[in-house]
Copies of this chain bind each other. A is one copy, B any other.
Amino acid sequence: MMINNQLNYVRIFDTTLRDGEQSPGATLTSPEKLEIARALARIGVDVIEAGFPTASPDDLEAVRRIAIEVGQSSGPDGELPIICGLARASKGDIDKAWEAVRHAPKPRIHTFLATSEIHMKHKLRLDPEEVVDRVVEMVAYARSFCEDVEFSPEDAGRSDPKFLYVVLEEAIKAGATTLNIPDTVGYTTPDEFGALIAGIIENVPGIENVIVSTHCHDDLGLATANTLAGIRAGARQVEVTVNGIGERAGNTSLEEIVMGLRTRRPLLNIDTGIDTTQLTRISRMVSTYTGILVPPNKAIVGANAFAHEAGIHQDGMLKHQSTYEIMLPETVGLSQSNLVLGKHSGRHAFKVRLNELGYDLNQDDLDRAFVRFKALADKKKAITDADLEALLTDELYQPRQIFSLDGLQVTCGTMGMPTATVRLKEEGGKIHVHAAVGEGPVDAAYKAIDAIAKVANTLLEFSVHAVTEGIDAQGEVTVRIQPQDGDSVTHAQRNGGLPRTYGGYGADTDIIVASVKAYLTAINRLLTSEINSSEAQDLTRVNAVTKA
């Protein structure tokens, strides 16, 4: 059975920026999406699903920028990534997807339509015949723009296989080059999903000329096993997300599939193009930007995944590492040397370590980061890689600073009224000072900021964790806010919009200072997005005029 010219190569299709970003609260800003897309290209992902351009003008613009800026960035094997945009089976969605991805050297349009009885009846309200007609029409329409067209029969896991074969055959005839089989609700077992893929490969005429792909969800904890079963049955593309994020229980996680195939290569005989030594770093980046924590017991990228990292004296382990380890920590880029820099480390040592961690800063960013590093080293004896990453995230990936923190003074405790005085500098230099009382010091400080920035919002999430061990550790704060009268974005799979939310991140040895920084980041993102959003709408209008 001939699937493709590279029989033993599985394409990694990453949908962190599309299905992953649909996780409640995971909303990313455009600069964050660009950074993640760059990291995905660097790690060797074959296809980057950059977003759902119809969702909002902001989303279209983010996919367009990724197509332009990341479409040119070759991976470890020298190949350029395919930049993919999602579209429902409608001309409007496909137009927007093409508008967004067409600037990439390797663009792809991915369109989908549900084929399960429950979805056709309750969501689409279409007969099976109408579904086939719509698929044919829309795949052909996408193909009129783009040579690389992917089609997904949504909820394939609960669709009638016979009907599915018909839909897929027609999609191939209409020009689809990849057929993706989603277990949309995470309902199948590995045997069932493997059989579904095998049935498709056996029964769909023309299937030998296209790539078959899997898209699994983890509602029953079986996404990784189902995806591997799909590969064994002949799938040669897998749709995954970093850290397995995504709606509900999330998608198949990139790192588990890549390391499963690698660790069990003699059994499975399948390769990917992924540079595994960057897995830990991209996992941290996605966790930081989305605010979705990775639990310590997460396979491959959890803090405890490698036994000897716990810093515990383990005699058995030291004697023979493979007694309890099936992978070497170095393989996933987990650095052995945790303790790296201190008070007396110079600019050169600092720069070298940053390069080793994969950061390549320009002189300006390096100077700013070094100043922060020296300030931190004054407060904290041992600066670890985790400290450096927290510092860089806090320093470099900031939105436009519409308001910046100029001073903070807080009193709290059990005996009085928690009070915060905040001094903010507005763009242009204007200074604002406000004092407020709250239920706690964070509440008080946030109220003071609200009084100055005047952006009505709800705090959806607030979390703090220590970057490293020790009482002098930096605190990392992640917040997420939702404006009261904010934009909403169009959801790919459901009717109706979702309110947009904004995340913020701050790090400091004082957790109240870190909390204020995180909140200001979120507020600045919200304000910047409101400005960009009106600009993007203007731009869309200009483009429409030019095209016409």
Q: Which A residues are closer than 8 A to B by beta carbons? A: 23-25, 118-119, 122-123, 184-187, 189-190, 192, 218-226, 228-229, 244-250, 253, 256, 259-260, 263-264, 267-268, 292-300, 302, 304-307, 310, 312-317, 319-320, 322-327, 379-380, 405, 407-416, 418, 420-421, 438-443, 446-447, 458-466, 469-473, 475, 491, 493-499, 508-513, 515
Contacts and interface: CB of A to CB of B under 8 A. Distances in A.
Contacts of A244: 297
A511 B297 contact: no
A260 B220 contact: yes
Given A463-B466, A496-B315, A511-B442, A267 B189 contact: yes
A295 B294 contact: yes
16 contacts: A123-B323, A189-B260, A220-B263, A249-B299, A295-B298, A316-B496, A408-B413, A413-B420, A413-B512, A438-B472, A440-B475, A440-B512, A443-B509, A462-B464, A462-B465, A462-B466
Indicate how many identical chains form the complex: 2
A314 B496 contact: yes
Contacts of A268: 189
A509 B218 contact: no
Q: Give the residue among A192, A310, A379 with the most B Cβ atoms within 10 A.
A: A310
Contact of A412 (B218, B293, B296, B512): B512
A473 B466 contact: no
A319 B123 contact: yes
A470 to B, nearest CB: 6
Contacts of A494: 314-317, 324
A412 B24 contact: no
A259 to B, nearest CB: 7
B405 A414 contact: yes
A459 B439 contact: no
A207 to B, nearest CB: 24
A-B pairs with the 3 shortest C-beta distances?
Answer: A225-B225, A440-B510, A315-B496
A297 B512 contact: no
A315 B496 CA distance: 6
Nearest to A380: B439
A249 B460 CA distance: 29
Given A248-B307, A249-B304, A292-B296, A440 B219 contact: no
A511 to B, nearest CB: 6
Given A218-B297, A325-B185, A443 B414 contact: no
Nearest to A185: B326
A459 B463 contact: no
A325 B415 CA distance: 48
A410 B414 CA distance: 9
A466 B327 CA distance: 36
Contact of A418 (B122, B187, B293, B510): B510
A412 B513 contact: yes
Contacts of A248: 297, 304-307, 324
A177 B465 CA distance: 46
A326 B23 contact: no
Contacts of A443: 471-472, 509
Contacts of A413: 407-410, 420-421, 510, 512-513
A441 B413 CA distance: 10
A249 B465 contact: no
A461 B267 CA distance: 39
A119 B248 CA distance: 40
A302 B293 CA distance: 12
Contact of A459 (B292, B293, B466): B466
Given A184-B324, A320-B122, A304 B23 contact: yes
Given A225-B222, A414-B405, A470-B459, A439 B510 contact: yes
A186 B185 CA distance: 26
A511 B463 contact: no
Nearest to A311: B24
Contacts of A260: 189, 220-222
Nearest to A494: B316
B510 A256 contact: no
Contact of A464 (B189, B306, B310, B463): B463
B458 A122 contact: no
A415 B411 contact: no
A297 B293 CA distance: 9
A488 to B, nearest CB: 9
Contacts of A469: 458-461
Contacts of A25: 296
Contacts of A497: 313
Given A316-B495, A317-B494, A326 B414 contact: no
Contacts of A508: 440
